[in-house]
Every structure is written in C-alpha cells, then in structure tokens.
Amino acid sequence: MSAPDPRALRIALATSHEVALPAACRLSAVLERWAGERAGAESSGLAAALGVPRPALAAALALRAGASATAARAEARAARLGARLLTAGEEGFPADFAALDLPPPALWIAGRVPERPAVALVGARRASPYGLEMASWLACGAAQAGVTVVSGFAVGVDAAAHRGALDAADGRTVAVLGCGLDIDYPRGHRSLGELVRERGALVTEFAPGRAPRPWQFPVRNRLIAALARAVVVVEAAPRSGSLVTARLALELGRDLLAVPGRVTDELALGPNALLADGATPALTPADLAAAVGLAVAGPGRPAPRPEPPGLAPEARALWRAAGDPAGADALAAAAGMTVDRALAALLELEIAGHLRRLPDGRYVPT
C-alpha cells in the first residue's frame, strides 16, 4: 500500500482514540519508517524496532486508508472553533518543538504564537496571595519589555501570569492547554481564553472534545518548557507539576529561575530547593527580561498598597491577605481565623470601602 499524505496521517494519529498520545508522538516522529509498510507488518518486530506497542502500530497502520478524510473532518472542526490545525514544518507550528523527544503530531492553535522571546511562569494552583501578586507583577513587567509570557492556563499562578501579561500595553501571552480547545476548563476561564486568543494564542495537542485528565497536564508541561527560553517557578510544593516543568526545561537547555519564598511555607519548598541547586533568583521583571536578552525600563519593584488606618486586628489581617480575587474561606485560612469571624470583618472592610465583593462571592481590594 502506498503511504498517505504525511500531514493527513499525522492528523489522523493526533485524533485517534485507538493510538495513545505517547505512541502517536513516536510514530509521527518516525513516519517514514512505517507508513509505507504492508498491512500486518506489526507482527514482524517492526513495533519493537520503533519502540511502540504492537497494538498501537496495528491501529496506526489501519488509519492510513481513511487518513485524508479524517484530516478533512478535523480541519473543518478546527475552523468552526476559529482555530488552525497544524503539523510540524507548517507556518505557525513552533519550531522549538522539534527539540522534544516526542513532539506532538499536530497542534490546534487559536490565535497566533508571537514571534518574541518567551518566558514561562508556572506555579501552584492553590497559590498564596504573595505568589499571585508576584506572578502577575513579573509577567506584566516582562511583557512590557517585549517578552511573551507562556503558562498553562490553570487557576492560581498560571492565570495570574496570563492576566499580568494582558495588563501590559501590547502584552503578549500563550496558554498551553491540557484538554481540547472547546472544553471550558478551568470552568470560568472562557473570557480569559478569549483575551489570550486576541493577544497571543491558545495551544493544545489534544483534539477537540478531549476532556482534561490528570495525566495530560504533565504531558502538556513539556510544550510549555519547549516554547520558552527560560522557565520561572513562582510557588510549588515538592513533587508538583511545576517542578516537572523545571526538570524538562533543564533537559531542553532552558534557563531556570525561581521566586524565593519563606522557608516555613510549603509552597516555597519547591522554588527554594531549585535556588539551592543553582537556579537564578527571579526578584524583578528585569530578571526575566535579562534571561532572554531584553531590558526592563522603569521602577524595579511594585509599589506597596497603603494600609488603611484604624483597622481592627482581624480586619487588618484579612486586608493584608487580600490580593487577587479570593473567597471568604481562603481569606480566613490565610488570616488564621474561622470563616464566621472572617465574614464579620469582611463586611466591615466592604462597607468601609476597603474591599469589594464580586458577583461570584470573592473579594478584591478596592
């Protein structure tokens, strides 16, 4: 059997339910070694030579006959989502992915990956107010200097980094997803996704309709590391996904930076361990810009929020804990008090005009 168009076959691999993603990546990378084989070749030892399970090769060989039709349907679906479906070598497909051992067979991209030096900011989903503030501030300052901010679109540090980049004049950001483009995940991030699409790109190797699964996020992290010239870990507990991204960055020869934290905080254990092992401290946006050969103009540190005078101790603790939008339970935990006591103090702060309660119940400083 003659081999089908390589592009169509890569798209067929990327959308297949029978070929697991790791096997699809390997088979896509060595397409010329198997695509022209006869049916039944998987029984000969070819699968072992390629480093994939025999059923995966059998399923891939079976995809050939309908690859062109599969690719056409996939492209039509991508177009309905306002996205492009790209394979390696096409304009818009990031050339940095060629450095990966298992590059994706195809990508769904909504928007356009900016042609600027990029830095990835990654960190905890349940980040502290300090972590969220640092992620937003570092991203905004770096974006103002012309750096593209890359992150994983998760709640916490990722979202703060994307929003910080978008706060910069002409800021650019890229979100690498762990699911299909049409999946509203994390729930409530759809409006953020639209802003990212307008000022950068949403990128995923998972076909539309692919729901998020825990294993997909570490897989997604290799794309984050590959897209960036440097990776910054803001907050991370030991053995977190952010530290997986840090390891991948080092394997790819990227610079690694980390934001120092208090040694008693669990979320500081990851970054502080990286710093002890030789990572560069990320103290200001200038550090991120310098990692990619750019410079930051203007003041080096954020201006502190002035504390309102005359606050009672509980109200003061809650006001200091407030930063990015957070619910009463999170603020109570950060301030070390019960939720009931926190709600009473939050009402006082709200009526005094120091905090604002959003429609979803979260609080932000005015």
CATH fold of 112-291 reads Rossmann fold (3.40.50)
Asked if 212 contacts 240 with a C-beta cutoff of 8 angstroms, the reply is no
Asked if the model's pLDDT at residue 298 lies above 70, the reply is no
- pLDDT at position 176: 98
- pLDDT at position 299: 45
Residue 126 phi, psi (nearest 5): -95, 60
Give tens-digit pLDDT for 62-114.
999 999 999 999 999 999 999 999 998 899 999 999 889 999 999 999 999 99
Give tens-digit pLDDT for 250-292.
999 999 999 999 999 999 999 999 999 999 999 999 999 999 9
Mean pLDDT for the chain overall = 92
Query: Could you tell me the two tokens for 364?
Result: 């932000």
Give tens-digit pLDDT for 173-228.
999 999 999 999 999 899 999 999 999 999 999 999 999 999 999 999 999 999 99
- pLDDT at position 304: 58
Asked if 148 contacts 166 with a C-beta cutoff of 8 angstroms, the reply is no
Quote the CA–CA distance of 343 and 347 in Å, as a whole number.
Answer: 6
What residues contact residue 270 under an 8 Å CB cut-off, 6+ apart?
233, 235, 236, 237, 238, 240, 242, 243, 258
Residues of the chain above pLDDT 90, percent: 75
Give tens-digit pLDDT for 17-59.
999 999 999 999 999 999 988 776 666 688 889 999 999 999 9
With tokens 């030892």, the residue in question is: 45
Cα dist. 309→306, 312, 319, 320, 350 in Å?
9, 9, 11, 13, 15
- pLDDT at position 300: 47
pTM greater than 0.75 = yes
Residues of the chain above pLDDT 70, percent: 95
Domain boundaries, the chain: 6-110, 112-291, 313-365
- pLDDT at position 219: 94
Quote the CA–CA distance of 292 and 9 in Å, as a whole number.
Answer: 36
CATH fold of 313-365 reads Arc Repressor Mutant, subunit A (1.10.10)
The band of 307, judged by pLDDT with boundaries at 50, 70 and 90, is confident
